[in-house]
């Protein structure tokens, strides 16, 4: 399989496995969507790590496969491409991308679908589609400017240039840079910590933030208010407040 889902201690690792560069061909895209939907459904998956292995995250789409596609073929495929990445973005649980080596084109767009990005010190990210006479087609023109702002996103998209990990950190494209050998370990630790948290409150927080970014502030506040009030019906809220009153802050156990 080109993508695998490995689950341990509440953390599901979506592992890309298509050597040598984890090129995201159609079969890999479809498998990614399938496993993202499985991670969404599974109660034993409480947080997710997206990982490509020690050497590379994903170097982009399979260009040879794309070269053979004409306009009609891509009209039929483009929605499936976006749907695969959207399935990852819509996992209603904390998701972290563990970025090693190259995260280019579709690889960068996949990292953008995570809530948090941890990159190795030698990682390189970018949207080089313009160099092929194309634009990003798996969400890059939409998620990248929402993350780093339109002018910075346009610079990367217009030039197609790669950025090293330190510049990616300065741009806000990644959230943490660590030694190359620690990328997965630190990403897993981030996910494992949240896997111990209140699952419904984390889901509510993610959906409120994401929905709010897509609408005006009044609608966003309504989304927040509804989630906030709704959580008062949950066992996690009851457990968290009881622990606070009886034991002090930060001691609640949600598993």
- Can you tell me the mean pLDDT for 3-11? 97
Q: Which two tokens stand for residue 152?
A: 């910075």
pLDDT classification of 148: cutoffs 50, 70, 90: very high
**pLDDT for the residue numbered 17:** 97
Can you give the pLDDT at residue 46? 98
Report the distance separating Cα 161 and Cα 125, nearest Å. 9
Q: How far apart are CA 20 and CA 40, in angstroms?
A: 28
The predicted model gives 136-148 an average pLDDT of: 97
Hey, what long-range contacts does 153-162 have (CB within 8 A, 24 or more apart)? Answer: 156/126, 156/127, 157/127, 157/129, 157/130, 158/130, 159/130, 160/126, 160/127, 160/128, 160/129, 160/130, 160/131, 161/126, 161/128, 162/102, 162/104, 162/124, 162/125, 162/126, 162/128
Q: Is 122 strand, coil or helix? A: coil
| 79-125 pLDDT, tens digit each | 999 999 999 999 999 999 999 999 999 999 999 999 999 999 999 99
pLDDT digits (tens, 9 = 90+) for 103-114: 999 999 999 999
Task: Assess whether 109 carries a catalytic annotation.
Answer: yes
What per-residue confidence (pLDDT) applies to 207? Answer: 97
Q: DSSP string covering 38-80, please?
A: HHHH-TT--EEEEE--SS-SB--B-HHHHHT--HHHHHHHHHH
Query: How confident is the model over 153-179, as pLDDT tens digits?
Result: 999 999 999 999 999 999 999 999 999
Task: Locate 181 and state its tokens.
Answer: 């050998």
**Is 129 labeled as catalytic in the residue annotation?**
yes
185-238 per-position pLDDT tens digit = 999 999 999 999 999 999 999 999 999 999 999 999 999 999 999 999 999 999
Contact of 64 with 116, CB cutoff 8 Å: no
Confidence of residue 255 (pLDDT cuts 50, 70, 90): confident
Q: Which of 37, 43, 65, 109 is catalytic?
A: 109
What is the per-residue pLDDT for 48?
98
- Name the catalytic one among 34, 37, 129, 167: 129
The reported pTM is 0.96
Rounded-to-integer distance, Cα 125 and Cα 177, Å: 13
Query: Which tokens hold the place of 245?
Result: 């009153």
Q: What is the pLDDT of residues 22-80, one digit of tens each?
A: 999 999 999 999 999 999 999 999 999 999 999 999 998 889 999 999 999 999 999 99
Residue appearing with tokens 């997206």:
50
Q: What is the per-residue pLDDT for 61?
A: 87
């Amino acid at each position: 399989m080109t993508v695998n889902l490995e689950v341990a201690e509440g953390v599901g690792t979506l592992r890309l496995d298509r050597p040598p560069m984890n090129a995201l061909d159609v079969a890999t895209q479809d498998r990614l969507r399938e496993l993202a939907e499985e991670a969404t459904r599974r109660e034993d998956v409480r947080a997710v790590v997206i990982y490509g292995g020690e050497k590379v995250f994903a170097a982009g789409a399979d260009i040879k496969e794309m070269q053979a596609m004409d306009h009609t073929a891509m009209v039929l495929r483009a929605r499936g491409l976006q749907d695969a990445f959207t399935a990852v973005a819509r996992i209603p649980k904390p998701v972290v991308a563990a970025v090693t080596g190259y995260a280019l084109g579709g690889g960068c767009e996949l990292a953008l679908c995570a809530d948090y990005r941890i990159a190795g010190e030698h990682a390189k990210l970018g949207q080089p589609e313009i160099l092929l006479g194309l634009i990003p087609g798996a969400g890059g023109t939409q998620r990248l400017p929402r993350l780093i702002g339109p002018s910075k996103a346009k610079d990367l998209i217009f030039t197609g240039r790669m950025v090293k990990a330190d510049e990616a950190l300065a741009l806000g494209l990644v959230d943490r840079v660590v030694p190359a050998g620690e990328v997965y370990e630190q990403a897993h630790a981030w996910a494992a910590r949240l896997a111990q948290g209140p699952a419904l409150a984390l889901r509510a927080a993610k959906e409120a933030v994401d929905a709010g970014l897509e609408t005006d502030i009044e609608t966003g506040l309504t989304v927040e208010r509804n989630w906030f009030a709704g959580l008062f019906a949950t066992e996690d809220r009851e457990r968290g407040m009881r622990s606070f009153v009886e034991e002090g802050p930060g001691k609640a156990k949600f598993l």
